[in-house]
């Protein structure tokens, strides 16, 4: 049995298709990432799996339970950490967990032991009796993760677990997530629009855009699927030079933005001097040239034709579309 299985899962908000016929199977013990920009449909997808939103069509099972017919069983068997924080700032860390353990019916005699256990897991045991109001952003997020684990869920949903945190705190949280996946033996489905996060944490990643899964594999295979390295070139003059570069043999995929070009090429180290020579002949002044291995950002660009960083404008556009519909 797969802890998470979806079949053509679809959600429409009036005219807008937020999640479009998504079918996937997530394996036991896996850390699975949904990577996509703002508005891709990530939160909508996991909200359906958590039974917080009803699908428009399609089916899904979580821990073997049907998300429409067996909502209570689904809810009891999962832990959720959502994008918007929902801790009580007036209580201490421990009190927040006690409240949640009560809500989820963790037997009284087990509560203290379990609370201590999850506090240790996220490194907050020593700070548990302080008011959450005085916690840092990273501590709050760790407490939320601990809270999602209190009732021994088999599947944990993490919606943007490190959103808004600084890079150092983010890496810290990745370590905790890896540790809990090992120690608690659970399956984790997380969403993110940070490609480094998907790369560092996930066993498999699905790239999501406009509600659809574009490609799904291990980060390693996804990066290898580009079959080449990334060569970046920045020039000072003559943008139509790029049109000529495009036609050069061995350029597989290109993306042009202003005076920069990024190309997927085989044997990039050998190709780079040729490009420089070509530029010199065409009297083009090159500002910089670099070669690197593909990142998941390049994979995203390859399969969607857009940069994941274009997310801000995208988000605004989505908000407008949403406003028009509502």
Ligand X SMILES: Nc1ncnc2c1ncn2[C@@H]1O[C@H](COP(=O)(O)OP(=O)(O)OP(=O)(O)O)[C@@H](O)[C@H]1O
Binding mask 30-69 for Mg ion (x = CB under 5 A): ------------xx--------------------------
Q: Which of 11, 127 has the CB closer to ligand X?
A: 11
For the CB of residue 36, give the shortest distance to Mg ion in the complex, in Å: 9
Handedness of CA 226, 232, 233, 234 (dihedral sign): positive
Total residues at interface with Mg ion (CB under 5 A): 2
Q: Which of 153, 161 has the CB closer to Mg ion?
A: 161
Report yes or no: 18 and 11 within 8 Å, Cβ to Cβ. Answer: yes
Q: Which of 12, 76 has the CB closer to ligand X?
A: 12
Query: Which of ligand X, Mg ion, none does 213 bind, CB closer than 5 to 8 A by kind?
Result: none
Q: DSSP secondary-structure letter at 44? A: H
Question: What string of DSSP letters covers 214-259?
Answer: EEEE-HHHHHHTT-SEEEEEEESS-TTHHHHHHTSTTEEEEEEETT
Report yes or no: 50 and 78 within 8 Å, Cβ to Cβ. Answer: yes
Q: With CA atoms as reference, report the closest residue to 207 among 228, 189, 187, 191.
A: 191
For the CB of residue 71, give the shortest distance to Mg ion in the complex, in Å: 21
For the CB of residue 13, give the shortest distance to ligand X in the complex, in Å: 3
Q: Which of 14, 72 has the CB closer to ligand X?
A: 14
Q: Which of 51, 96 has the CB closer to ligand X?
A: 51
Q: Which residues sit at the interface with ligand X, rule CB under 6 A?
A: 13, 16, 18, 36, 38-44, 83, 193, 315, 318, 322
Q: Which of 38, 224 has the CB closer to ligand X?
A: 38
Report yes or no: 221 and 265 within 8 Å, Cβ to Cβ. Answer: no
Question: What string of DSSP letters covers 83-148?
Answer: SS----TTSBHHHHHHHHHHHTT--HHHHHHHHHHHHHHTT-GGGTTSBGGGS-HHHHHHHHHHHH
Q: Which of 149, 190 has the CB closer to ligand X?
A: 190
For the CB of residue 131, give the shortest distance to Mg ion in the complex, in Å: 28
Query: Which of ligand X, Mg ion, none does 193 bind, CB closer than 5 to 8 A by kind?
Result: ligand X
C-beta atoms surrounding 143 within 10 Å: 26
C-beta atoms surrounding 295 within 10 Å: 18
Q: With CA atoms as reference, report the closest residue to 263 among 229, 235, 238.
A: 229
Query: Which of Mg ion, ligand X, none does 40 bind, CB closer than 5 to 8 A by kind?
Result: ligand X
For the CB of residue 23, give the shortest distance to ligand X in the complex, in Å: 17
Query: Which of Mg ion, ligand X, none does 318 bind, CB closer than 5 to 8 A by kind?
Result: ligand X
For the CB of residue 173, give the shortest distance to Mg ion in the complex, in Å: 17
Which residues sit at the interface with Mg ion, rule CB under 5 A? 42-43
């Amino acid at each position: 049995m797969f802890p998470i299985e979806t079949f053509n899962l679809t959600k429409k908000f009036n005219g807008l298709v937020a999640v479009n016929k998504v079918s996937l199977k997530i394996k036991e013990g896996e850390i699975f990432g949904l990577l996509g920009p703002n508005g891709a449909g990530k939160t909508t997808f996991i909200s359906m799996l958590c039974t917080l939103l009803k699908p428009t069509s399609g089916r899904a099972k979580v821990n073997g339970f049907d998300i429409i017919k067996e909502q209570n069983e689904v809810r009891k068997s999962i832990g959720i950490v959502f994008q918007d924080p929902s801790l009580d700032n007036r209580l201490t860390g421990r009190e927040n967990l006690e409240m949640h353990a009560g809500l989820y019916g963790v037997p009284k005699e087990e509560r203290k032991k379990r609370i201590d256990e999850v506090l240790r897991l996220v490194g907050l045991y020593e700070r548990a009796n302080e008011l959450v109001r005085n916690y840092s952003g990273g501590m709050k997020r760790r407490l939320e993760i601990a809270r999602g684990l209190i009732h021994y869920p088999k599947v944990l949903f993490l919606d943007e677990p490190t959103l808004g945190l600084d890079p150092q705190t983010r890496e810290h949280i990745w370590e905790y997530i890896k540790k809990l996946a090992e120690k608690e033996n659970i399956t984790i489905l997380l969403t993110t629009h940070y490609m480094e996060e998907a790369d560092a944490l996930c066993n498999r990643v699905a790239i999501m855009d406009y509600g659809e899964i574009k490609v799904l594999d291990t980060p390693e295979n996804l990066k290898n699927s580009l079959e080449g390295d990334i060569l970046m070139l920045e020039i000072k003059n003559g943008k139509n030079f790029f049109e000529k570069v495009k036609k050069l043999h061995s350029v597989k995929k290109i993306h042009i933005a202003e005076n920069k070009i990024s190309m997927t090429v085989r044997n990039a180290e050998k190709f780079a001097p040729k490009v420089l020579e070509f530029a010199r002949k065409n009297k083009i002044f090159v500002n910089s040239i670099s070669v690197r291995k593909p990142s998941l950002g390049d994979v995203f660009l390859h399969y969607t034709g857009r940069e994941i960083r274009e997310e801000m404008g995208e988000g605004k556009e989505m908000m407008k579309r949403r406003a028009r519909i509502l």
